[in-house]
């Protein structure tokens, strides 16, 4: 038997983390009805320390989700409504000339980006310059204004939203900037039973009563634990083959793609698989974890060409095809054997 | 982890490893079979052909079976070599198992000491891939069928005798038979016959493939014509001599002076022909002919004359036998029916059509026989018929029948239009003159 990976969490640690995360999911379920998959992906995103891009129609609970997260985790949350006239300084903050007893001096006034949770609402309505100021903060974890660098608080998460139907007067995020979001999550409308529950249990203008689940430090501990989750070599190999297969000519599914996913996507898949394994109280990631998060990780990172668009394909359908094309194991069954019937 | 747990985990680990090793063995055997079976069939097919060939040539098949076994061993090695990149290790088999069983890579993690080994008792029993007999069975079945067929199919053994020599041109045998016939008559010197035979042998000595070459056939034809000419000359001279002898016998009191010169001239020509001809006759016979005095035949011994006559008759008969019956047949016909005409012997048939009513009483049709069509050339007339219809000029204008009557009214200008113009031209003219 090989030596134990030194950093791998113990089953006890993963069980404890699982209990806490279950509590968080339960609390968030009270905020956002009927969106269990979305909540799971958001929690996975948090554990992976990644930023999330939410796409959905107004009124589906994006802001409520962020506010609920902030309250359950005792995090500072801020919301920025992106508009075409929003300036970078409106996001990062700016130095203000102040009169002090020692004389006049510039004092840096922090912008709304200085928070643990930032809801960047309708990010695609701001100019590219303003978008890039936020994206720089997301990437670097700090803000530099007039030569002075200010670190952002830890943890720092950006949950950006974009509206899929208002295309007039928008500045769609370029692919390079989309790549910085760990997940792109689609928020769908609720079904009738969920709507009925919302009507019964919620009221306009009244915040749901949510108690904090754990502290900010616990969240940081959980993110550290997620990073220690064991990623078997065979799963890492699967991730590498999956990302490679997104490039044109590398698989049948990628036939009509313009560009495939970057190495950052492979890292995102690995981090997401680890986080999902922790969410399911496991000490190791698996093929199933990779397949479960492949859609939100890869969907926005592959660029379709005109033929694929004419064929009615989307990023999601291509990822579905990829998961069929790329086998979990890089070894096939010989032709002289047939797949066993595990149900028999 | 307490000792009981450690022991249980060790047991589970061994169980899973046994499973994995068994699966890896099956997978590797499956890959090897996938590579080997087509080779087995190919080798079986080749062995079947070899077996048929051995059986046809009546060679023992032990060698072919040994060769087949060696080929199978080599094919087995080659199949293993080709499939080496696909081989399953026990660790690969563990991954396959956990993937098939939906264990979330628990076996790999357990093998790496990260997670406990799952209990196989709670898992579905059928985890090993099953053999696909539908893909395996046809190969050995077909191979076996082909081999059985090759071993049991009735095969005619190849003929062991060497192939017959190529047939030589007919003319060689024909020439030899001519000279054999003449030799049997014992009137020609053997040296003269041997000269001809040597030429036939020279032709026969050339390579079999050359016997029907253009030059060979040309030489054969020339030799045949020369031989035939020599035989005809011999026959002609023998006949002249025999005729002179017969004339002398017919006039025991002396040949009339008008005939004597002609007969002497014939005899002299015959002797010259015997001396200078291609087939020199026997020297004793030639001396007897030289000494022949047709005016005083009774002076010669009776036995010598009788012997000479027999020799001449034998020579003529031999020549006739060698040259065939055609000449003698024609001569007999000519003698029986000196001609000319029907019922009186051969005569030329009328070669033009005419209304010859005189022939009606005999026949409405007669033909010129030509039995030897091999001598017919293009344009030769092989038959002439006389019938009722050769009177082809019946509608022709015959001139006025009696004074004052018009034999034919004529067509006038309309005839020109009707007989010279095409329908299109006639239509144009009609439109123009309407």
**Beta-carbon contacts of residue A335 (< 8 Å; ≥ 6 apart):** B30, B34, B132, B135
- Asked if A182 and A226 touch (Cβ cutoff 8 Å), the reply is no
Output DSSP code: residue A157. Answer: E
Nearest CA in chain A to B104: A286
Q: Is A200 on the interface with B (CB under 8 A)?
A: no
Neighbours of B83 (CB within 10 A): 18
CA distance, residue A235 to nearest chain B CA (Å):
8
Residue A257 three-state SS: strand
Containing H/E element for A167? none
Residues B189 and B289 in one domain: yes
| Test mutation, A230, A293, A337, chain B, max B CBs within 10 A | A337
Residues B59 and B175 in one domain: no
CA distance, residue B166 to nearest chain A CA (Å):
58
Q: How many domains does chain B have?
A: 2
Looking at the domain assignment, is residue B222 inside a domain?
yes
Is the CB of B114 less than 8 angstroms away from the CB of A287?
A: no
Sign of CA dihedral B261, B263, B267, B270: positive
In A, which residues are within 8 Å of B102 by CB distance?
288
Q: What is the CATH number of the domain that holds A270?
A: 1.10.8.80
Per-residue pLDDT reduced to its tens digit, A210-249: 888 888 889 899 999 999 999 999 999 999 999 999 998 8
Strand intervals (E) in A198-263: 257-259
Closest Cβ opposite residue B30 in set A3, A283, A337:
A337
Mean pLDDT value across residues A70-94: 88
Residues A182 and A61 in one domain: yes
Look up residue A253 and give its two tokens.
Answer: 């599914």
Task: Report the alpha-carbon distance of residue A172 to residue A161 in Å, rounded.
Answer: 12
Residues B86 and B195 in one domain: no
Looking at the domain assignment, is residue B355 inside a domain?
no
Per-residue pLDDT reduced to its tens digit, A178-197: 888 999 988 888 788 878 88
Residues B271 and B141 in one domain: no
Task: Report the alpha-carbon distance of residue A156 to residue A145 in Å, rounded.
Answer: 19
Is the CB of B86 less than 8 angstroms away from the CB of A332?
A: yes
Residues A125 and A255 in one domain: no
pLDDT at A240: 94
Looking at the domain assignment, is residue B358 inside a domain?
no
Residues B123 and B232 in one domain: no
Looking at the domain assignment, is residue A314 inside a domain?
yes
Closest Cβ opposite residue B88 in set A11, A331, A340:
A331
Judged against a pLDDT cut of 60, whether residue B173 lies above it is answered with yes
Residues B140 and B174 in one domain: no
For chain B, state the CA radius of gyration: 52
| Test mutation, B82, B114, B138, chain A, max A CBs within 10 A | B114
Task: Report the alpha-carbon distance of residue B413 to residue A202 in Å, rounded.
Answer: 121
Looking at the domain assignment, is residue A1 inside a domain?
no
A159 φψ region: left (φ > 0), alpha (ψ -120 to 50), beta (else):
beta
Task: Report the alpha-carbon distance of residue B343 to residue A107 in Å, rounded.
Answer: 157
Q: Is A337 on the interface with B (CB under 8 A)?
A: yes
| Test mutation, B35, B104, B120, chain A, max A CBs within 10 A | B104
Mean pLDDT value across residues A75-92: 89
pLDDT interval class at B247 (50, 70, 90) = confident
Task: Report the alpha-carbon distance of residue B380 to residue B293 in Å, rounded.
Answer: 49
Is the CB of B30 less than 8 angstroms away from the CB of A336?
A: yes
Looking at the domain assignment, is residue A336 inside a domain?
no
Residues B127 and B11 in one domain: yes
DSSP string, B136-160: HTHHHHHHHHHHHHHHHS--PPPP-
A 279-298 → B contacts, CB under 8 A = 280, 282-289
Looking at the domain assignment, is residue B374 inside a domain?
no
Mean pLDDT value across residues B212-237: 89
Residues A202 and A145 in one domain: yes
Is the CB of A333 less than 8 angstroms away from the CB of B92?
A: no
Per-residue pLDDT reduced to its tens digit, A316-332: 888 999 998 898 888 88
Which among B272, B301, B324 is the end of a domain?
Answer: B324
Task: Tell which residue, B273, B272, B271, B277, has the closest CA to residue B195.
Answer: B277
Closest Cβ opposite residue B112 in set A232, A286, A335:
A232
Task: Report the alpha-carbon distance of residue A230 to residue B351 in Å, rounded.
Answer: 120
Nearest CA in chain A to B136: A336
Looking at the domain assignment, is residue A340 inside a domain?
no
**Beta-carbon contacts of residue A25 (< 8 Å; ≥ 6 apart):** A36, A39, A40, A43
CA distance, residue B27 to nearest chain A CA (Å):
7
Residues A176 and A305 in one domain: no
In B, which residues are within 8 Å of A234 by CB distance?
95, 105, 108
In B, which residues are within 8 Å of A228 by CB distance?
none
Which among B303, B324, B345 is the end of a domain?
Answer: B324
CA distance, residue A275 to nearest chain B CA (Å):
14
Which among B94, B117, B152 is the end of a domain?
Answer: B152
In B, which residues are within 8 Å of A284 by CB distance?
104-106, 108-109, 112, 114-115
Q: B302 or A6, which is more confident?
A: B302
Looking at the domain assignment, is residue B68 inside a domain?
yes
Closest Cβ opposite residue B114 in set A8, A333, A342:
A8
A 226-245 → B contacts, CB under 8 A = 230, 232, 234-235
Task: Report the alpha-carbon distance of residue B352 to residue B208 in Å, rounded.
Answer: 52
Nearest CA in chain B to A276: B104
Mean pLDDT value across residues B146-175: 80
Residues A188 and A280 in one domain: no
CA distance, residue B69 to nearest chain A CA (Å):
23
Neighbours of B216 (CB within 10 A): 16
pLDDT interval class at B62 (50, 70, 90) = confident
Residues B310-327, buried b or exposed e (16+ Cβ, 10 A)? ebbebbbebbbbbbeeee
Judged against a pLDDT cut of 70, whether residue B371 lies above it is answered with no
Strand partners, A108: A95
Q: What is the CATH number of the domain that holds A175?
A: 3.40.50.300
**Beta-carbon contacts of residue B296 (< 8 Å; ≥ 6 apart):** none
Neighbours of A155 (CB within 10 A): 17
pLDDT at B37: 92
Residue B113 three-state SS: coil
Residues B396-419, buried b or exposed e (16+ Cβ, 10 A)? eeeeeeeeeeeeeeeeeeeeeeee
pLDDT at A230: 92
The mean of the pLDDT values for chain A is 85
In A, which residues are within 8 Å of B127 by CB distance?
340, 342
Sign of CA dihedral B228, B229, B233, B236: positive
Chain pair A-B, CB pairs under 8 angstroms? 116
Please enumerate residues of B whose Cβ is less than 8 A from a Cβ of A.
13, 26-27, 30-31, 33-34, 37, 86, 88, 92, 95-96, 99-102, 104-106, 108-109, 111-116, 124, 126-132, 135-136
In A, which residues are within 8 Å of B113 by CB distance?
1-5
CA distance, residue A43 to nearest chain B CA (Å):
20
pLDDT interval class at A292 (50, 70, 90) = very high
Is the CB of A234 less than 8 angstroms away from the CB of B95?
A: yes
Residues A147 and A247 in one domain: no
Question: What percent of chain A has pLDDT above 90?
Answer: 26
**Beta-carbon contacts of residue A263 (< 8 Å; ≥ 6 apart):** A243
Task: Tell which residue, A179, A99, A174, has the closest CA to residue A131.
Answer: A174
Strand partners, A52: A159, A183
Residues A207 and A236 in one domain: no
pLDDT at A1: 40
Cα separation values, A115 from A89, A211, A224, Å: 15, 20, 20
In Å, the largest CA–CA distance within chain A is 88
Residues B112 and B205 in one domain: no
Looking at the domain assignment, is residue A339 inside a domain?
no
In A, which residues are within 8 Å of B106 by CB distance?
284, 286
- Asked if B274 and B237 touch (Cβ cutoff 8 Å), the reply is yes
- Global ipTM: 0.77
Residues A24 and A173 in one domain: yes
Task: Report the alpha-carbon distance of residue A120 to residue A86 in Å, rounded.
Answer: 12
Residue in the structure block whose two tokens are 């046994």: B18
Q: Which burial class, exposed, middle or buried, applies to B40 when counting CB atoms under 10 A from its CB (0-12, 13-18, 19+)?
A: buried
Residues B266 and B319 in one domain: yes
**Cis preceding-peptide flag for B404 (omega within 30 of 0):** no
Looking at the domain assignment, is residue A335 inside a domain?
no
Residues A97 and A198 in one domain: yes
Range of the domain at A236: 229-327
CA distance, residue B150 to nearest chain A CA (Å):
28
Residues B31 and B144 in one domain: yes
Residues B24 and B120 in one domain: yes
Q: How many domains does chain A have?
A: 2
* Entry field: residues in chain A: 344
pLDDT at A269: 94
Residues A13 and A42 in one domain: yes
In B, which residues are within 8 Å of A5 by CB distance?
112-114
Is the CB of B34 less than 8 angstroms away from the CB of A336?
A: yes
Residues A166 and A243 in one domain: no
Look up residue B233 and give its two tokens.
Answer: 């000359």
Per-residue pLDDT reduced to its tens digit, A265-279: 999 999 999 999 999
Mean pLDDT value across residues B215-244: 89
pLDDT interval class at A62 (50, 70, 90) = confident
Task: Give the side-chain half-sphere CA count within 13 A for A29.
Answer: 11
Residues A172 and A263 in one domain: no
Closest Cβ opposite residue B129 in set A2, A8, A340:
A340
Q: A198 or B21, which is more confident?
A: B21
- Asked if B136 and B33 touch (Cβ cutoff 8 Å), the reply is yes
| Test mutation, B109, B111, B117, B138, chain A, max A CBs within 10 A | B109
Looking at the domain assignment, is residue A61 inside a domain?
yes
Residues B175 and B305 in one domain: yes
* Entry field: residues in chain B: 434
Say what the alpha-carbon torsion angle A218, A224, A229, A230 is, to the nearest 10 degrees. Answer: -160
pLDDT interval class at A3 (50, 70, 90) = very low
**Cis preceding-peptide flag for B288 (omega within 30 of 0):** no
Q: Which burial class, exposed, middle or buried, applies to A3 when counting CB atoms under 10 A from its CB (0-12, 13-18, 19+)?
A: exposed
Q: Is A209 on the interface with B (CB under 8 A)?
A: no
Task: Tell which residue, B358, B356, B357, B331, has the closest CA to residue B345.
Answer: B331
Is the CB of A1 less than 8 angstroms away from the CB of B13?
A: yes
CA distance, residue B48 to nearest chain A CA (Å):
25
CA distance, residue B113 to nearest chain A CA (Å):
5
SS3 content of chain A, % helix, strand, coil (to 5): 45, 15, 40
Task: Report the alpha-carbon distance of residue B137 to residue B37 in Å, rounded.
Answer: 9
Range of the domain at B294: 170-324
Looking at the domain assignment, is residue A190 inside a domain?
yes
CA distance, residue A2 to nearest chain B CA (Å):
5
Mean pLDDT value across residues A41-51: 92
């Amino acid at each position: 038997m090989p030596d134990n990976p030194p950093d791998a969490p113990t089953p006890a640690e993963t069980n404890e983390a699982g209990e806490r995360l279950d509590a968080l999911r339960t609390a968030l379920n009270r905020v956002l009805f009927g969106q269990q998959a979305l909540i799971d992906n958001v929690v996975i995103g948090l554990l992976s320390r990644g930023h999330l891009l939410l796409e959905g129609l107004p009124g589906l609970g994006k802001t409520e989700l962020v506010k609920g997260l902030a309250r359950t985790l005792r995090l500072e949350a801020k919301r920025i409504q992106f508009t075409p006239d929003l300036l970078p300084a409106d996001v990062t903050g700016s130095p203000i000339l102040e009169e002090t007893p020692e004389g006049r001096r510039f004092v840096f006034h922090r912008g709304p980006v200085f928070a643990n949770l930032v809801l960047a609402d309708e990010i695609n309505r701001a100019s590219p310059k303003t978008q890039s100021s936020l994206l720089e903060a997301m990437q670097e974890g700090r803000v530099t204004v007039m030569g002075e660098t200010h670190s952002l608080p830890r943890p720092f998460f950006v949950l950006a939203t974009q509206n899929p139907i208002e295309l007039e007067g928008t500045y769609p995020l370029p692919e390079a900037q989309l790549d910085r979001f760990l997940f792109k999550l689609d928020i769908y409308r609720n079904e009738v039973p969920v709507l009925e529950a919302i009507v019964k249990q919620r009221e306009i203008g009244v915040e749901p009563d949510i108690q904090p689940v754990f502290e900010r430090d616990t969240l940081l501990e959980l993110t550290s634990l997620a990073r220690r989750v064991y990623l078997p070599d065979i799963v890492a190999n699967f991730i590498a083959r999956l990302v490679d297969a997104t490039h044109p000519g590398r698989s049948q599914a990628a036939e009509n793609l313009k560009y495939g996913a970057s190495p950052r996507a492979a890292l995102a898949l690995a981090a997401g698989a680890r986080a999902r394994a922790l969410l399911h109280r496991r000490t190791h990631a698996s093929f199933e974890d990779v397949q479960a998060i492949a859609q939100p990780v890869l969907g926005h990172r592959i660029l379709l060409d005109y033929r694929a668009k004419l064929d009615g394909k989307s990023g999601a359908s291509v990822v579905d095809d990829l998961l069929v094309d790329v086998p979990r194991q890089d070894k096939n069954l010989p032709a002289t054997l047939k797949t066993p019937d595990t149900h028999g | 982890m307490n000792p009981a747990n450690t022991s249980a985990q060790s047991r589970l680990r061994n169980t899973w490893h046994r499973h994995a090793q068994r699966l890896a063995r099956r997978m590797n055997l499956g890959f090897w079979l996938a590579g080997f079976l087509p080779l087995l069939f190919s080798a079986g097919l080749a062995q079947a052909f070899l077996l048929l060939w051995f059986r046809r040539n009546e060679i023992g098949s032990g060698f072919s079976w040994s060769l087949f076994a060696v080929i199978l061993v080599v094919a087995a090695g080659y199949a293993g070599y080709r499939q080496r990149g696909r081989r399953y290790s026990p660790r690969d088999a563990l991954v396959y198992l956990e993937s098939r069983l939906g264990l979330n890579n628990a076996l790999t993690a357990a093998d790496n000491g990260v997670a406990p080994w799952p209990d196989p008792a709670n898992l579905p029993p059928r985890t090993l891939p099953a053999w696909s007999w539908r893909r395996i069975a046809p190969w050995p079945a077909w191979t076996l069928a082909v081999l059985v067929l090759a071993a049991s199919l009735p095969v005619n053994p190849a003929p062991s005798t060497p192939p017959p020599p190529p047939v030589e041109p007919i003319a060689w045998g024909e020439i030899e038979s001519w000279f054999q016939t003449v030799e049997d008559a014992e009137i020609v010197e053997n040296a003269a016959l041997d000269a001809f035979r040597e030429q036939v042998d020279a032709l026969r000595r050339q390579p079999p493939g050359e016997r029907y070459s253009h030059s060979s056939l040309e030489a054969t034809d020339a030799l045949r014509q020369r031989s035939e000419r020599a035989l005809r000359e011999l026959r002609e001279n023998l006949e002249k001599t025999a005729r002179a002898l017969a004339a002398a016998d017919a006039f025991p009191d002396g040949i009339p002076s008008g005939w004597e010169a002609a007969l002497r001239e014939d005899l002299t020509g015959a002797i010259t022909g015997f001396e200078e001809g291609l087939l020199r006759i026997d020297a004793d016979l030639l001396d007897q002919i030289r000494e022949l005095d047709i005016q005083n035949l009774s002076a010669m011994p009776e036995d010598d004359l009788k012997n000479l006559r027999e020799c001449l008759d034998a020579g003529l008969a031999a020549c006739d036998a060698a040259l065939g019956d055609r000449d003698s047949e024609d001569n007999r016909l000519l003698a029986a029916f000196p001609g000319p005409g029907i019922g009186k012997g051969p005569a030329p048939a009328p070669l033009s059509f005419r209304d010859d009513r005189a022939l009606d009483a005999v026949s409405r049709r007669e033909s010129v026989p030509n039995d030897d069509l091999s001598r017919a050339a293009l344009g030769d007339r092989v038959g002439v018929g006389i019938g009722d219809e050769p009177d082809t000029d019946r509608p022709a204008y015959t001139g006025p029948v009696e004074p004052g009557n018009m034999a034919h009214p004529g067509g006038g200008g309309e005839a020109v239009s009707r007989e010279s113009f095409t329908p299109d031209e006639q239509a144009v003219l009609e439109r123009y003159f309407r």
